[in-house]
């Protein structure tokens, strides 16, 4: 693993990494267990991803923990996920404080059970002064819903003459998204071999590099994160410009 770290240019690491944590159910099924078993064994992967991101100087990591569509899953699984969220946040709080991790959340948090909301908001408040890395959990999150809500809120301000319709730009839209306090995503990682964005950070990933791995999420470790970083650094990020223009600016 140390060799992988040595292969990473610490001056060009992604500032914001987003991860779709996929494959918990298949991992559990492969072991003859219920899907919930996979979710419970995914916590090590979360720790490894956050620690690895912190090791290389990444300042933001966002995890797709529970989508708006996930509410349609069997009630037993949803209840288990909410219970796991509560117990995990409580258990990890001391390590968040020790490692300087600031916890953040995006999504329709009001849809979460009241006890989950309470624990989440408490952890967010307890860690708000930490500065090493910002760990954002996307909970009851859907990018289309986020954009619709932003449009509604901006429209209300236009009607109330708080915003001039001709002045609406990307900055105003950004300021009305759940992620108003986060930078755009540089690298998106999805595990389990699926190659979809699945309604995750559609606006924020406009210029993100996408990395897909066959590794199931419970098996994800620092080495897999570092491999994604190395792949990311071997790509040319042009943002609409030509290679020659990029070369001149370096």
> Distance between CA 101 and CA 177 in Å, rounded?
22
> Distance between CA 53 and CA 61 in Å, rounded?
7
67 is in an annotated binding site: yes
69 is in an annotated binding site: yes
23 is in an annotated binding site: yes
144 is in an annotated binding site: no
209 is in an annotated binding site: yes
68 is in an annotated binding site: yes
Query: Which residues are designated catalytic?
Result: 22, 70
> Distance between CA 179 and CA 175 in Å, rounded?
8
26 is in an annotated binding site: yes
127 is in an annotated binding site: no
How many Cβ atoms are within 10 Å of 179's Cβ, its own excluded? 23
Strand arrangement, sheet containing 209-212: 101-106, 133-141, 60-67, 16-20, 187-190, 209-212
Tell me which DSSP letter residue 15 carries.
S
Question: Tokens for 190?
Answer: 């999805």
190 is in an annotated binding site: yes
Cα–chain-centroid distance for residue 46? 11
Binding site per annotation, positions for substrate: 23-27, 35, 39, 67-69, 71, 73, 190, 196-198
Binding site per annotation, positions: 22-27, 35, 39, 67-69, 71, 73, 190, 196-198, 209
Binding site per annotation, positions for Mg(2+): 22, 209
């Amino acid at each position: 693993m140390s060799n992988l770290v040595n292969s990473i240019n610490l001056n060009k690491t992604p500032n914001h990494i987003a991860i779709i944590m996929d494959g918990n159910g298949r991992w559990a099924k492969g072991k003859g267990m219920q899907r919930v078993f996979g979710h419970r064994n995914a916590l090590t992967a979360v720790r490894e991803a956050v620690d690895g991101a912190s090791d290389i100087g990444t300042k933001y990591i966002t995890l797709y923990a529970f989508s708006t569509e996930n509410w349609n899953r069997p009630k037993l699984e949803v209840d288990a996920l909410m219970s796991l969220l509560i117990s995990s946040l409580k258990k990890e709080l001391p390590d968040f404080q020790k490692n300087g991790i600031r916890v953040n959340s995006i999504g329709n948090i009001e849809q979460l059970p009241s006890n989950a909301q309470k624990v989440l908001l408490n952890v967010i408040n307890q860690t708000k002064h930490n500065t090493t890395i910002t760990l954002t959990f996307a909970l009851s999150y859907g990018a289309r819903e986020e954009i619709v809500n932003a449009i509604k809120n901006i429209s209300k301000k236009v009607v109330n003459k708080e915003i001039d319709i001709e002045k609406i730009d990307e900055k105003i839209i950004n300021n009305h998204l759940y992620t108003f306090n986060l930078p755009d995503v540089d690298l998106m990682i999805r595990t389990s071999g699926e190659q979809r964005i699945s309604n995750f950070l559609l606006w924020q990933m406009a210029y993100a590099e996408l990395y897909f791995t066959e590794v199931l999420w419970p098996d994800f470790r620092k080495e897999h994160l570092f491999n994604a970083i190395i792949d990311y650094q071997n790509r040319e990020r042009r943002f609409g410009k030509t290679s020659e223009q990029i070369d001149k600016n370096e």
